[in-house]
Amino acid sequence: MNQNTMKQKLNSFYLLACLVAPLVTVGCSSSGPPEFRLDMVKMVSEETPTAQEYQQEIADVLGALFGTPDEPFALPETGLNAIQLQMAAGSAWSDEKGYNHGLYRKHCVHCHGITGDGRGPTARFLNPYPRDYRPGVYKFKSTYNADRPTDEDLHRVLVNGVPGTAMPSFSLLPSSEVESLVEYVKYLSIRGQMETALTNFVFDELGEEEAEDEDGEPLLDGDGEPVLRRIPFNPAEDAEQQEVVADLLAEIVEGWDAASEKIILPEEDQIPAEERSDEEIAASVDKGRELFYGTRANCIKCHGPTALGDGQQDDFDNWSKAHKKFLSDVAESHKGEPTEDSQEFAASRDEVAAMIYPLRNAIPRNLRQGIYRGGRRRLDIFWRISAGIPGTPMPATGSAAPGGKGTISEAEIWNIVDYVLSLPYESPSRPLKALPANTEGIVN
């Protein structure tokens, strides 16, 4: 406990020191060193419309907390390794010892973008789009659905790539470089999550306030209207805001720190034996098929009756859903009468809407191709089916948290793993069992 309080004190000391340090202005200039960009969809959205003064203040605070793409900075409480960040950041060059710097800009930026928003120059032409790291959500990982990935998870993705997508394998890079890149991906995620948290805070708790006199009575102007006062977002000079910023950062970092405790570890006695007879495997595949088409696991609904991925095809992933909502709000706002709010943001909304890449549906995987984006080991497929694929429609069937209970048992998940792995070899024309017949009985 003693140690903890020490640590907390230390942390807020660092936080204060960095918040009062001279701030870098983060504007938009076309020349000069690359800069992190704010998420403009969020800034001008109907949920959190953020006035330009606040946008600048948020950028300033983020600049103080995280530095710039050339000079990344991480507070000790983030647990991020500053040396690794330095290796990954900046422009690409090699020092006299032969160490490579600027790894992110050399290998990743043309797809994932300077800010990690998944909007590099190449991104528009890719399907699926490169990952936007900013929400901190990753698809192919060992942890429960809602949890962050572990370092090993990100490391595995970098080494293997994501087969069947544009995401290449970086297995030829030395392990130390991959580790620096993993650190940098986490850094961009934490920065992005922090941006969202700060923007929510500014909208929820700052803004214009009716000024009050000493007695708590509203101040009125000459026309009897309340006098409005803008509350600046300046944690360096406001102890309460500083505490909020520290808390928000701590919460985000905690999520990343906890990942290693959130790994889905299959129960030993449920894992099928290495050496199984053909009959045993066939029996397990049969059970898996039953579940796949049955009403409990119901994979058929999305992956389709032939598992070609042709079931539910008109849904979107969470990244696209945010853009879809924004676009439809903008389209609607052109219909109604303009309000105070819509007038302030109308021009920038149109501008931001025009920059959004075409929306693409989240298509369930064609399971007959035998290409597994998150890895082809049995354990990989087990994790996908148990935890679902975060950020996408694919739901979890296993427990949602350590010690919890899944909607189907682990033994059943392993049966489905066997079935999924057999699918590329099963003839699609094999007659399917009739759909579950209990639809008739229950009627409202």
- Contact residues for other proteins (CB under 8 A)? 1-2, 46-47, 145-147, 200-201, 203-205, 207-208, 210, 240, 243-244, 247, 251, 295-298, 301-302, 312, 314-315, 318, 332, 336-337, 339-341, 388, 390, 393-397, 400-401, 405, 407-408, 436, 438-439, 441-444
Asked if 263 contacts 142 with a C-beta cutoff of 8 angstroms, the reply is: yes
Among residues 12, 56, 86, 312, the one that binds ligand HEC under rule CB under 6 A: 312
Angle between helices 52-66 and 239-257 (to 10 degrees): 60
Asked if 196 contacts 134 with a C-beta cutoff of 8 angstroms, the reply is: yes
Of 74 and 302, which has the nearer Cβ to other proteins? 302
Q: Which of residues 347-366 bind ligand HEC (CB under 6 A)?
A: 362, 364-365
Of 67 and 390, which has the nearer Cβ to other proteins? 390
How many CA atoms are closer than 13 Å to the CA of 92, on its beta-carbon side? Answer: 8
Does residue 224 come out as left (phi exceeding 0), alpha (psi in the -120 to 50 range) or beta? left
Closest separation in Å from C-beta 240 to other proteins: 6
DSSP three-state, residue 230: strand
Asked if 209 contacts 227 with a C-beta cutoff of 8 angstroms, the reply is: no
Closest separation in Å from C-beta 312 to other proteins: 6
Nearest to 58 by CA among 74, 75, 36: 36
Of 25 and 339, which has the nearer Cβ to other proteins? 339
DSSP track, 277-299: -HHHHHHHHHHHHHHHHSTTT-T
Stretch that binds ligand HEC, among 18-26, 40-48, 76-84, 127-135 (CB under 6 A): 127-135
Asked if 114 contacts 69 with a C-beta cutoff of 8 angstroms, the reply is: yes
User: How far is Cα 319 from Cα 112, in angstroms, rounded to an integer?
Assistant: 14
Tell me the per-residue interface mask from 142 to 161 with ligand HEC, x by CB under 6 A, - otherwise. Answer: ------------x--xx---
Closest separation in Å from C-beta 138 to ligand HEC: 4
Of 146 and 347, which has the nearer Cβ to other proteins? 146
Of 233 and 419, which has the nearer Cβ to ligand HEC? 419
List the beta strands (DSSP E) in 50-123: 93-94, 100-101
Among residues 101, 112, 134, 262, the one that binds ligand HEC under rule CB under 6 A: 112
Binding partner at 145 among other proteins, ligand HEC, none, C-beta below 5 to 8 Å by kind? other proteins
Closest separation in Å from C-beta 110 to ligand HEC: 6
Binding partner at 159 among ligand HEC, other proteins, none, C-beta below 5 to 8 Å by kind? none
Contact between 128 and ligand HEC per CB under 6 A: yes
User: How far is Cα 370 from Cα 300, in angstroms, rounded to an integer?
Assistant: 17
Nearest to 191 by CA among 44, 38, 11: 38
DSSP track, 256-268: HHGGGG-B----G
List the beta strands (DSSP E) in 221-276: 228-231
* Residues whose CB falls within 8 Å of the CB of residue 427, separated by 6 or more in sequence, listed in order: none
**Residue 49: cis peptide before it, omega within 30 degrees of 0:** no
Of 349 and 373, which has the nearer Cβ to ligand HEC? 373
Tokens matching residue 29: 């200039």
Among residues 16, 24, 166, 231, the one that binds ligand HEC under rule CB under 6 A: 166
Stretch that binds ligand HEC, among 92-100, 124-132, 197-205, 339-347 (CB under 6 A): 124-132
**CB-CB neighbours of 168 under 10 Å:** 14
Closest separation in Å from C-beta 402 to ligand HEC: 21
- Alpha-helical runs (H) found in 21-51: 40-43
Tell me the per-residue interface mask from 366 to 405 with ligand HEC, x by CB under 6 A, - otherwise. Answer: -x----xxx------x--xx---x--xxxx-x--------
Tokens matching residue 51: 């006035």
Closest separation in Å from C-beta 223 to other proteins: 16
Q: Which residues bind ligand HEC (CB under 6 A)?
A: 107-108, 110-112, 122, 126, 128, 130-131, 138-141, 154, 157-158, 162, 165-168, 170, 181, 185, 292, 297-299, 301-303, 312, 362, 364-365, 367, 372-374, 381, 384-385, 389, 392-395, 397, 416, 420
